[in-house]
């Protein structure tokens, strides 16, 4: 079975058809999806800006990362759930969309980076992690998560 057949099957599910045929369901789901992205962006940015050396300098990076973690996880759960619903409503469009490929690739890389490299640096003793390494990690993190948001907006305009 090819990916196109799978994407077509997804679009023909009852959920996909219901969302696509509803006047208000897609915009409501999209709005919740974007709010979840904003929640994720806030949780990521507060830690990344601190890693970069900007803002909240009195609070240790590790504590800030631990405090932001539930917001990041909650936002991801909502974003993935609503993203699946949005995908089901226009899966064939996503199959042919370069923007969808960019978003999914960015999301995969951002998740891997966030929960491996960034997490290790953020939770490490600040005296053991040099400022150059912390800044590099924060820039890569912001770039990857920006790719997710930019890819998502590109989907809407393609």
Rg (Cα) of the chain, in Å, rounded? 18
Kindly list the averaged pLDDT for each block of 10 residues, start to end, along the chain of length 158. Answer: 89 95 95 94 94 86 94 96 96 93 95 95 83 92 94 84
Could you give the CA distance from residue 52 to residue 141 in angstroms, rounded to a whole number?
11
Q: Exposed, middle or buried by CB within 10 Å (0-12, 13-18, 19+), for 137?
A: buried
CB 40 within 8 A of CB 72: yes
Q: Give the pLDDT score at 155.
A: 86
Residues 6+ apart with CB under 8 A from 48: 118, 137, 138, 141, 142
Domain residue limits at 93: 3-156
Q: Give the pLDDT score at 100.
A: 94
Q: Give the pLDDT score at 96.
A: 93
When divided into structural domains, the chain yields a total of: 1
Could you give the CA distance from residue 127 to residue 108 in angstroms, rounded to a whole number?
30
Q: Give the pLDDT score at 148.
A: 92
């Amino acid at each position: 079975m090819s990916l196109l057949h799978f994407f077509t099957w997804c679009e023909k599910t009852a959920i996909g058809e219901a969302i696509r045929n509803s006047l208000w369901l897609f915009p409501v789901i999209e709005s919740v999806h974007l709010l979840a992205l904003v929640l994720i962006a806030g949780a990521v940015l507060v830690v990344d800006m601190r890693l970069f050396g900007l803002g909240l300098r009195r609070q240790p990076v590790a504590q800030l990362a631990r405090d932001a973690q539930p917001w990041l996880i909650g936002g991801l759960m909502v974003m993935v759930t609503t993203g699946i619903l949005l995908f089901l409503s226009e899966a064939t469009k996503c199959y042919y969309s370069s923007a969808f490929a960019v978003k999914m690739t960015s999301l995969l890389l951002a998740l891997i980076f966030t929960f491996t490299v960034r997490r290790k640096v953020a939770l490490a003793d600040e005296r053991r992690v040099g400022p150059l390494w912390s800044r590099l990690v924060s820039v890569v993190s912001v770039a990857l998560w920006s790719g997710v948001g930019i890819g998502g907006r590109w989907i809407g305009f393609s």
